[in-house]
């Protein structure tokens, strides 16, 4: 199937062709025909599968066919609610790209900055509004946003909304929506709370599921290094020196850890920047902008801040800390190997993180390839189970044999 087979409006096809899009991704191929028919949709898919185009293209197509540019000021006809500023901005950029040959207009609103510019944009009139929950509710309550003309609603990254404590805000927003609407609900996981929320939002819906293992196994080469906590920074520096020209996204479990990694890399003369919740919006946008244009090669991120990072040809993702939620691993490595590209995801695993690795492998139904020996083996946990203190710094004979057997894998993803 190609995008032309979907019988989209010519201006949208022209924009997609300019973007270099010819064939839809699996979620786009399944979701777009459903949405073009006007049905509600429950999409289960993680970041990196092409969700924004899957819901953005049908919305734009509907608005074009309806001749959205009417008399007087534009009214909000489509709403996309998403958890983070970065993701909201990214979605807005995608809408702009897909609608570049149309008269349609979108704007993005989010917290953490003064609302004056956002209010001015709303006053000028918009067709499509992309918003984070808190700022959206604020501007609704102040009377700047009304939904009397709203026809299309997207709730994106619903599980992340739950993780960030937005669930009550989202329920308030759903209560303010007009009954006659098309609703789209996307989530990477479906815990009980998210199932209940989808039932509250959706009418008679169809479901599209893109399984995590499909997204991880097909395009992303994975590997894990066993390394002690103290040697993680040394191994990171070693890998970055080996790949000086590549864009590398490094994940830290905590904000403090992200800042610490930046300081460590700075001492090694490797330029990097961190994005997380304690950084100002200006700092986050500056770092992300430099990473996207290639002037910054190494970006350190926490999981929440990383939502919305969409970088062409991102070569490598490094899990400095393994996530304690296995689905998060899928989100992380989905930053590389996007669309038709391939990518590499390498993880560091110390003894205390072994259970996390087992949970990840259970979820993706495959063993993450072991990378074998590396220059910083001292103190690494090379046996299954919890950290074996006797083996720290001096692996026993069985471990040496295991490592020799695995040696053929050493650095195979580094070139």
What residue spans in the chain does CATH classification 3.40.50.300 cover? 3-210, 214-409
Residues 174-191: tens digit of each pLDDT:
999 999 999 999 988 787
Q: What percent of the chain has pLDDT over 90?
A: 50
**CATH fourth-level superfamily of 3-210:** P-loop containing nucleotide triphosphate hydrolases (3.40.50.300)
What integer pLDDT is reported at residue 202 of this predicted model?
92
- Mean pLDDT rounded to a whole number for the chain: 84
CA angle 226, 236, 221 (to 5 degrees): 65
Highest mean pLDDT among 87-91, 120-124, 275-279: 120-124
Is pLDDT of 335 > 80?
A: no
User: In degrees to the nearest 10, what's the CA dihedral of 40, 44, 49, 51?
Assistant: 30
DSSP string covering 29-76, please? Answer: HHHHHHHHTT-EEEEE--TTSSHHHHHHHHHHHHHHHTT---SSS---
Residues 265-278: tens digit of each pLDDT:
999 999 999 988 77
Q: Are 343 and 336 in contact (CB under 8 A)?
A: yes
**Residues 150, 109: Cα–Cα separation, whole Å:** 17
Residues 211-251: tens digit of each pLDDT:
654 445 456 889 999 999 999 999 999 999 998 888 899 99
Instruction: Name the nearest CA neighbour of 226 among 328, 333, 356, 344.
Output: 356
Is residue 42 very low, low, confident or very high in pLDDT (cuts 50, 70, 90)? very high
Q: pTM of this prediction? A: 0.63
Is pLDDT of 92 > 90?
A: yes
**CATH fourth-level superfamily of 214-409:** P-loop containing nucleotide triphosphate hydrolases (3.40.50.300)
């Amino acid at each position: 199937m190609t995008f032309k087979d979907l019988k989209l409006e010519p201006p949208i096809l022209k924009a997609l062709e300019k973007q270099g899009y010819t064939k839809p991704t699996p979620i786009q191929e399944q979701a777009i025909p459903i949405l073009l028919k006007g049905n509600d949709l429950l999409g289960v898919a993680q970041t990196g599968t092409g969700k924004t185009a899957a819901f953005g293209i049908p919305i734009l197509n509907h608005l074009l066919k309806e001749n959205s540019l009417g008399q007087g000021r534009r009214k909000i006809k489509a709403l996309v609610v998403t958890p983070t500023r970065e993701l909201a901005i990214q979605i807005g950029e995608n809408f702009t790209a897909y609608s570049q040959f149309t008269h349609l207009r979108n704007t993005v609103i989010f917290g953490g900055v003064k609302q004056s510019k956002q209010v001015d944009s709303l006053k000028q009139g918009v067709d499509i509004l992309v918003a984070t929950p808190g700022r959206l509710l604020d501007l609704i309550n102040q009377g700047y946003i009304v939904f009397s003309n709203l026809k299309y609603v997207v709730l994106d990254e619903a599980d992340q909304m739950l993780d960030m404590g937005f669930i009550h805000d989202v329920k308030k927003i759903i209560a303010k929506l007009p009954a006659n609407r098309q609703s789209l609900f996307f989530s990477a996981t479906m815990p009980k709370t998210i199932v209940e929320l989808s039932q509250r939002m959706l009418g008679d819906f169809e479901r599209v599921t893109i399984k995590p293992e499909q997204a991880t196994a097909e395009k992303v080469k994975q590997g894990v290094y066993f390394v002690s906590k103290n040697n993680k920074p040394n191994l990171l520096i070693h890998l970055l020196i080996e790949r000086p020209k590549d864009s590398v996204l490094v994940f830290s479990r905590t904000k403090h850890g992200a800042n610490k990694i930046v300081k460590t890399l700075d001492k090694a003369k490797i330029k990097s920047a961190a994005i997380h919740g304690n950084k100002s919006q200006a700092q986050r946008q500056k770092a992300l902008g430099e990473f996207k244009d290639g002037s910054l090669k190494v970006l350190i991120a926490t999981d929440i801040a990383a939502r919305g990072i969409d970088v062409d040809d991102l070569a490598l993702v490094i899990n400095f800390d393994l996530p304690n939620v296995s689905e998060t691993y899928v989100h992380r490595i989905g930053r590389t190997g996007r669309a038709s590209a391939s990518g590499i995801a390498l993880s560091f695993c110390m003894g205390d993180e072994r259970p996390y690795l087992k949970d990840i492998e259970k979820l993706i139904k495959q063993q993450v390839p072991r990378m074998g020996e590396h220059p910083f083996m001292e103190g690494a946990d090379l046996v299954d189970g919890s950290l074996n203190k006797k083996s720290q710094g001096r692996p026993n004979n069985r471990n040496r044999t295991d490592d020799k057997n695995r040696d053929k894998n050493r650095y195979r993803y580094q070139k």
